[in-house]
C-alpha cells in the first residue's frame, strides 16, 4: 500500500490515548497494510496507528520467525506475570536512541484480527515486551515514560543532539 510519515517525538499525539476501532472495515485493513509498509521502511519490529498520526487502537508487529506482519485490533493486556524482565527498547518515533525498560516477563492479550474475530494470546520474552510496548503507545504512554526522570532527560538530550540540524 503506502509508507506513511511517522510522527516524531515530542509530538503531543504520541501521548494521546487511541480510540477503539469498532467495526473492522476495508479502511482499517488498508491502515494495517500501510502500518506494515511503514514499519518495514523505518525499520522497526512494531508500530501503532498513533505512530502515523491516526488515533485508533491498531498495532502491527513482525518478529523474526513470523510468517508476515501480524495485525492486532483493539488489543488489551488481560494478565501480567509477576516475573519481570529487562529489555532494550526504542521507537520508530524516536530513532537512534534506546534504553532498558523493565516489564512483566509474560502477558496474555485479547484482540481482534483483520476479520474481526476475537482472539486471545499468551506471550513471553521479546514478543511479550513488544506487545506491552505497543499497547502502552495505544494508551498514550510513550516508552520513555517508563524510565526514571534522570534517564529520560539524558535520553531526550541524546536524541536532540542526534537530530539537531
CATH number for the domain including 99? 3.90.45.10
At 16 the pLDDT is 97
Is the residue at 4 inside a domain? no
Structural domain span for residue 120: 12-162
> pLDDT for 75-133, tens place per residue?
999 999 999 999 999 999 999 999 999 999 999 999 999 999 999 999 999 999 999 99
Mean pLDDT of all residues in the chain?
A: 96
Q: Which residues contact 163 (CB under 8 A, 6 or more apart)?
A: 96
**Domain presence at residue 6:** no
Number of domains, the chain: 1
Is 47 contained in some domain? Answer: yes
In-domain check, residue 132: yes
| 82, part of any domain | yes
Residues designated as active site: 134
Half-sphere exposure of 117 (CA within 13 A, CB side): 5
Phi, psi of 100 (to 5 degrees): -85, 135
Amino acid at each position: 500500500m503506502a509508507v506513511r510519515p511517522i510522527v516524531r517525538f515530542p509530538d503531543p499525539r504520541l501521548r494521546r490515548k487511541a480510540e477503539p476501532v469498532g467495526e473492522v472495515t476495508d479502511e482499517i485493513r488498508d491502515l494495517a497494510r500501510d502500518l506494515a509498509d511503514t514499519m518495514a521502511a523505518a525499520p522497526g519490529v512494531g508500530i501503532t496507528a498513533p505512530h502515523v498520526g491516526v488515533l485508533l487502537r491498531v498495532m502491527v508487529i513482525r518478529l523474526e520467525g513470523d510468517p508476515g506482519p501480524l495485525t492486532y485490533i483493539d488489543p488489551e493486556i488481560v494478565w501480567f506475570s509477576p516475573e519481570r524482565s529487562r529489555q532494550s527498547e526504542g521507537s520508530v518515533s524516536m530513532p537512534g536512541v534506546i534504553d532498558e525498560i523493565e516489564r512483566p516477563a509474560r502477558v496474555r492479550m485479547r484482540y481482534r484480527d483483520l476479520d474481526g474475530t476475537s482472539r486471545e494470546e499468551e506471550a513471553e520474552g521479546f514478543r511479550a515486551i513488544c506487545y506491552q510496548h505497543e499497547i502502552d503507545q495505544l494508551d498514550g504512554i510513550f516508552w520513555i515514560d517508563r524510565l526514571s526522570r534522570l534517564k529520560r532527560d539524558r535520553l531526550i538530550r541524546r536524541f536532540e543532539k542526534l537530530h539537531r540540524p
